[in-house]
């Protein structure tokens, strides 16, 4: 229940490609991590591909804290490769949500107990949570569609 409150997502893809072909396809469509954004490359993702999985994120040309990081694992099956992908926000977004939201909840609970809580304070916190979650879900949906094109 608590995990559902955090902006994370999972997806599973069954690919009929062989593992070497799948890794080759990922390497072709993913730029290696670099300091500056490469405007020449048409690849949508940047990250690393390993023998048993990958860690990638969508390439952005400005600042966007809500772009999910995709952690994928390969599992071989009789029909091809089964890819399990875990999508999560950047570590700073996750840490701030894990510590700031409970901190504000404790403050609001204390104010409520003392009768000093105004309605606009919890609504502001709810609004911030909705913005963070909706932004992550929107970016995660775009990343899912893009990675599906590469892996299928």
Domains of the chain, residue spans: 2-151
Fold of 2-151: Alpha-D-Glucose-1,6-Bisphosphate; Chain A, domain 4 (3.30.530)
Length of the chain: 152
Closest CA to 90 of 55, 111, 66, 124: 66
Q: Return mean pLDDT, the chain.
A: 84
Q: Find the mean pLDDT for residues 109-138.
A: 80
147/34: higher pLDDT: 147
- Strands across the sheet containing 53-58: 9-15, 80-88, 69-77, 53-58, 45-49, 30-32
Q: What is the pLDDT of residues 1-53, one digit of tens each?
A: 455 667 889 999 998 888 999 999 999 999 887 656 556 667 889 899 999 99
Give the separation between CA 73 and CA 50, rounded to whole angstroms: 9
- pTM, to two decimals: 0.81
């Amino acid at each position: 229940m608590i995990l559902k409150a955090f902006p994370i997502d999972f997806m599973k893809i069954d690919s009929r490609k062989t593992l070497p072909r799948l890794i080759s396809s990922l390497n072709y469509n993913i730029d290696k991590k670099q300091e500056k954004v490469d405007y020449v490359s048409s690849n949508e993702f940047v990250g690393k591909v390993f023998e048993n999985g990958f860690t990638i994120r969508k390439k952005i040309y400005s600042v966007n804290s809500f772009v999910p990081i995709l952690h994928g694992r390969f599992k071989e099956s009789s029909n091809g490769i089964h890819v399990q992908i875990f999508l999560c926000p950047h570590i700073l977004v996750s840490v701030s949500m894990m510590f700031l939201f409970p901190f504000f909840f404790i403050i609001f609970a204390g104010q409520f107990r003392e009768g000093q809580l105004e309605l606009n304070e919890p609504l502001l916190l709810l609004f911030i949570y909705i913005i963070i979650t909706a932004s992550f879900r929107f970016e995660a949906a775009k990343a899912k569609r893009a990675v599906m094109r590469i892996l299928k």
